Chain A
Amino acid sequence: MRIETAETLKEYAASLRDGRPGGLRFRVLVSMGTCGIAAGTTPVLEALREEISARGLGESVEVVETGCMGLCHSEPTVEVEDLGSGTSRLFGNLDVSQAASLADMVSGSPGALVPMVRDWYYPEFESNERGCSQARIVLRNSGRIQPERIDEYILVDGYQALARAITSMTPAEVIGVIRASGLRGRGGGGFPTGTKWQFAAERTSDEKYVICNADEGDPGAFMDRAVLEGDPHSVLEAMAIAGYAIGSRNGIIYIRAEYPLAIHRLEVAIAQAREKGLLGDRLLGTDFGFDIELKYGAGAFVCGEETALIHSIEGKRGEPTFKPPFPAIAGLWGKPTIVNNVETFANVCAILRRGAEWFRGIGTEKSPGTKVFALAGKISRVGLIEVPMGMPLRQIIFGVGGGIRDGKEFKAVQTGGPSGGCIRPDYLDTPIDYETLRALGSMMGSGGMIVMDEDDCMVNVAKFFLEFTLDESCGKCTPCRVGNKRLHEMLEAICNGKATAETLSKLRTLALIVKDTSLCGLGQTSPNPVLSTLQYFAEEYRAHVEEKRCPAGVCARLITYVITDKCVGCTLCARNCPVGCISGERREQHSIDQDACIKCGVCYETCKFHAIEKR
């Protein structure tokens, strides 16, 4: 059924609200993002469904499969909404056996499960009275609606922003609001979104394109996936608004093929939006038409770079080209094109609904709004968080993130993915936004935050990122193709104990030149992990080079495993050594054949008597 006017959209939303079955008392939201499914949510969901139907609760309880709630550390996760009281409770780390308790709860009995504390608020319709550190704008619907049902999106004011834009605002006014909001690109660069739209709007052209960059290549970042899986319509709606603003009727979402569930949900969402007349010709009775097509990536990080992305859509090798011309002037098929990140788009509808001032009230002056971060690594509460810009790193890691796992010592946090840098504990009080991170030699990037502890070797981490760059460089320009190779070789030499003091100075010089001369953002930032570790962890480099020692005990060539006299001869290590290089009689001290040892560390981890030492 098509929705023909903005009025009917309002009426339709209201009818959905009133149309809820009278007997419905509870909604049970089950987090079914890729991560939730991987953590084993499906059996919990099935068990829950069985319990509910077995108890005949079908009328009063609705089980909703939502996208990701961001609580990776507590998957499988379920939220129970009590429609009567308007309250809701969150439960984490569930297993099949707890389905019954959940069912108890929605049958009215108190239930034996202990709920988790929700530490975020929804700025659009809640004020932060409870002093929550997180604020959800981008993730406002993710985990709260069933993404495969457009009606659920319409229920939460979906498509109202689009309706307002195209029926009561001029394109210039739309751009005006976005500019005034100060929204900056969340894809990493932080370029003002309104300005980008303005450039494209000023061009006259028979065709223009709105591209959503859903390539999300940074390893350790998964917020775009979460948005697309959990709230796909918010991106579709925002793209249509962007189309109206710049005068384009063609939208394209470039999504990485590694995200099958997000692709599926987008396909469903696009089909439903078309059916409702919210995509296609003559939206809501206006002359404005907009449609969206999906294009798939094929495993190339560099295709996140906008010119490479455009080439990829054009069916070419994903090699970036020099800018200018910028895509806003000559992009896809040579036509004016805007490329925006998923998270950027996910902010747009909220801004249009609540206004630029409201948005500016959150975050910092130069970087208004929130930022979604993916916390991973050695942190206790792994997951997706959304916090106002300007929050100090310490609060993110030790507050929201719950500190370091297993009581270890915090060593560094890596932000900005392969383009970013490693930040040392003494900078933890920096309030983060685009500029402060850059000043620390790192980047906002797409918002991955990898936390490292005392067991991580920073030289090895730098090497890891360069390996990534080597794999993902398109190979077009000399500094990135050959320069990064050389940087990597030098880091290998350092990790293998073959480096000299000269290596260190060459490493730094070359890293700076690769940054200065590379063609695209990949090469211009790929030395950042090297430079920042060189700057902040110089001691560690020196230990590798001068003392041939890896302080964190990671670099295999620089460590040996030795069995000490604490050994009781239990043979456990010998039985577990994958290459069988540990020998010794039962109840006698064992020894390791150092030539055969592959330094896998299995013995070290297996020995219950801490008889094996790393040297």
Chain B
Amino acid sequence: MACSACAAPASLLEAFPEKRAALEAYLSSLPIGDDRERNRGLLIQSLHRAQGLFGYLPEEVQRLVADRLRLHLSEVYGVVSFYSFFTDKPVGRYRINVCMGTACFVRGAGKVLDEFKRYLSVGEGETTPDGKFTLGALRCVGACSLAPVVMVNGFVHGNVTPKRVADIIEQCD
């Protein structure tokens, strides 16, 4: 699946042999046996590891995990699609997550999120066409005192107002 816009390589696994090796090494370190049920118990941590390495979980990565844990790919995909932490789409270099927890909400996070959507012309969970920003919402990072809170690649901006949105985006570079 080569995408001309972002010139993604045809195969992530081929493009990054060292990441593939790291994932394989991790999977080899797991106590995988004949009992599919027990193997499944290793699935979520494997997906965490895989997403940590590749940034997202395209089909080929899910297949690698499925094959090694001897699970059906459909089960793996069912799990990936259930948990909001996992994504099978590439994410932008900057992951902007607006906290939509209750504390942030009552302090106006909705308007902040709307402003991000408007400014970047993307919806929640979407990535800008240039692959730079992925906009998302999350629920409470436990920094409610700074509400509304926006996380950019793990960095917390506190007391954000719609006016500051442009600043935050400009700062990314």
Least Cβ–Cβ distance between A57 and chain B, in angstroms: 31
Least Cβ–Cβ distance between A576 and chain B, in angstroms: 6
Knowing A316-B79, A414-B102, say if A298 contacts B145 (CB, 8 Å). Answer: no
B85's contact among A298, A417, A471, by CB below 8 Å, is which?
A298
Knowing A217-B139, A382-B145, say if A296 contacts B45 (CB, 8 Å). Answer: yes
Asked if B18 is an interface residue, CB under 8 A from chain A, the answer is no
Q: A300 contacts B83, CB within 8 Å?
A: yes
Which of A349-357, A371-379, A479-487 forms part of the interface with chain B? A371-379
Asked if A383 is an interface residue, CB under 8 A from chain B, the answer is yes
Least Cβ–Cβ distance between A318 and chain B, in angstroms: 6
Q: B44 contacts A300, CB within 8 Å?
A: no
Q: B145 contacts A376, CB within 8 Å?
A: yes
- Among B86, B141, B142, B149, chain A packs the most CB atoms within 10 A around the CB of B142
A residues less than 8 Å from B78 (CB atoms): 317
A222's contact among B84, B119, B140, by CB below 8 Å, is which?
B140
Asked if B48 is an interface residue, CB under 8 A from chain A, the answer is yes
A220's contact among B37, B38, B101, by CB below 8 Å, is which?
B101
Q: B158 contacts A578, CB within 8 Å?
A: no
Asked if A464 is an interface residue, CB under 8 A from chain B, the answer is yes
Q: Complex: how many Å from CA A461 to CA B102?
A: 9
Least Cβ–Cβ distance between B113 and chain A, in angstroms: 11
Asked if A452 is an interface residue, CB under 8 A from chain B, the answer is yes
Asked if B132 is an interface residue, CB under 8 A from chain A, the answer is no
Q: Complex: how many Å from CA A450 to CA B102?
A: 7
Least Cβ–Cβ distance between B163 and chain A, in angstroms: 6
A residues less than 8 Å from B45 (CB atoms): 295-296
Q: B102 contacts A417, CB within 8 Å?
A: yes
Asked if A35 is an interface residue, CB under 8 A from chain B, the answer is yes
**Chain B 153-171 per-residue mask, 1 if CB under 8 angstroms from chain A, else 0:** 0001010011100000000
Knowing A258-B138, A383-B145, say if A461 contacts B48 (CB, 8 Å). Answer: no
Q: Complex: how many Å from CA A39 to CA B37?
A: 44
Asked if A524 is an interface residue, CB under 8 A from chain B, the answer is no
Asked if A285 is an interface residue, CB under 8 A from chain B, the answer is no
Least Cβ–Cβ distance between B18 and chain A, in angstroms: 24
Q: A39 contacts B158, CB within 8 Å?
A: yes
Interface positions, chain B 104-119, Cβ under 8 Å from A, are: 105-107, 110-111, 114-115, 118-119
Please report the total number of A residues contacting B with Cβ < 8 Å.
61
Asked if B41 is an interface residue, CB under 8 A from chain A, the answer is yes
Interface positions, chain B 35-91, Cβ under 8 Å from A, are: 37-45, 47-48, 75, 78-79, 82-86
Least Cβ–Cβ distance between A236 and chain B, in angstroms: 20
Of all chain A residues, the one with the shortest Cβ separation from B147 is A376
Q: A296 contacts B101, CB within 8 Å?
A: no
Q: A219 contacts B140, CB within 8 Å?
A: yes
Q: Complex: how many Å from CA A49 to CA B57?
A: 42
Interface residues on B, range: 35 or more
Of all chain B residues, the one with the shortest Cβ separation from A450 is B102
A residues less than 8 Å from B39 (CB atoms): 315
A461's contact among B85, B106, B149, by CB below 8 Å, is which?
B106
**Chain A 460-473 per-residue mask, 1 if CB under 8 angstroms from chain B, else 0:** 01001100100100
B residues less than 8 Å from A39 (CB atoms): 143, 145-146, 158
Q: A602 contacts B162, CB within 8 Å?
A: yes
Q: B140 contacts A220, CB within 8 Å?
A: yes
Q: A464 contacts B44, CB within 8 Å?
A: no
**Chain A 313-343 per-residue mask, 1 if CB under 8 angstroms from chain B, else 0:** 1111110000000000000010000000000
Of all chain A residues, the one with the shortest Cβ separation from B40 is A315
A residues less than 8 Å from B162 (CB atoms): 578, 600, 602
A residues less than 8 Å from B146 (CB atoms): 35, 38-39
B residues less than 8 Å from A79 (CB atoms): none
Q: B139 contacts A301, CB within 8 Å?
A: yes
Q: A376 contacts B144, CB within 8 Å?
A: yes
Q: A257 contacts B102, CB within 8 Å?
A: no
A318's contact among B83, B149, B163, by CB below 8 Å, is which?
B83
Q: A450 contacts B106, CB within 8 Å?
A: yes
Knowing A39-B158, A376-B144, A600-B115, say if A295 contacts B44 (CB, 8 Å). Answer: yes
A residues less than 8 Å from B86 (CB atoms): 298-299
B102's contact among A72, A313, A448, by CB below 8 Å, is which?
A448
Asked if B103 is an interface residue, CB under 8 A from chain A, the answer is yes
A residues less than 8 Å from B158 (CB atoms): 38-39
A225's contact among B42, B75, B142, by CB below 8 Å, is which?
B142
Of all chain B residues, the one with the shortest Cβ separation from A302 is B82
Knowing A377-B107, A452-B106, say if A299 contacts B144 (CB, 8 Å). Answer: no
Of all chain A residues, the one with the shortest Cβ separation from B86 is A298
Q: B115 contacts A219, CB within 8 Å?
A: no
Least Cβ–Cβ distance between B66 and chain A, in angstroms: 11
**Chain B 22-35 per-residue mask, 1 if CB under 8 angstroms from chain A, else 0:** 00000000000000
Q: B82 contacts A315, CB within 8 Å?
A: no
Q: A219 contacts B101, CB within 8 Å?
A: yes
Q: Complex: how many Å from CA A75 to CA B141?
A: 16
Q: A222 contacts B144, CB within 8 Å?
A: yes
Q: Complex: how many Å from CA A602 to CA B164?
A: 11
Q: A299 contacts B85, CB within 8 Å?
A: yes
Q: A377 contacts B139, CB within 8 Å?
A: no
Of all chain B residues, the one with the shortest Cβ separation from A378 is B106
Q: A296 contacts B44, CB within 8 Å?
A: yes
Q: A298 contacts B47, CB within 8 Å?
A: yes
B residues less than 8 Å from A295 (CB atoms): 44-45
Knowing A220-B102, A257-B85, A376-B147, say if A468 contacts B115 (CB, 8 Å). Answer: no
Q: Complex: how many Å from CA A226 to CA B37?
A: 34
Least Cβ–Cβ distance between B145 and chain A, in angstroms: 3
Least Cβ–Cβ distance between A256 and chain B, in angstroms: 9
Q: A75 contacts B83, CB within 8 Å?
A: no
Asked if A83 is an interface residue, CB under 8 A from chain B, the answer is no
Asked if A601 is an interface residue, CB under 8 A from chain B, the answer is yes
Knowing A450-B103, A450-B106, say if A35 contacts B147 (CB, 8 Å). Answer: no
- 5 A-B pairs with CB atoms under 8 Å apart are A35-B143, A35-B146, A257-B85, A317-B79, A378-B107
Known pairs A225-B142, A315-B40, A414-B102 / 18 extra A-B pairs, C-beta < 8 Å: A34-B143, A38-B158, A39-B146, A219-B100, A219-B102, A219-B139, A221-B140, A296-B45, A297-B83, A299-B138, A317-B79, A318-B83, A374-B144, A378-B106, A417-B102, A578-B115, A598-B114, A600-B111
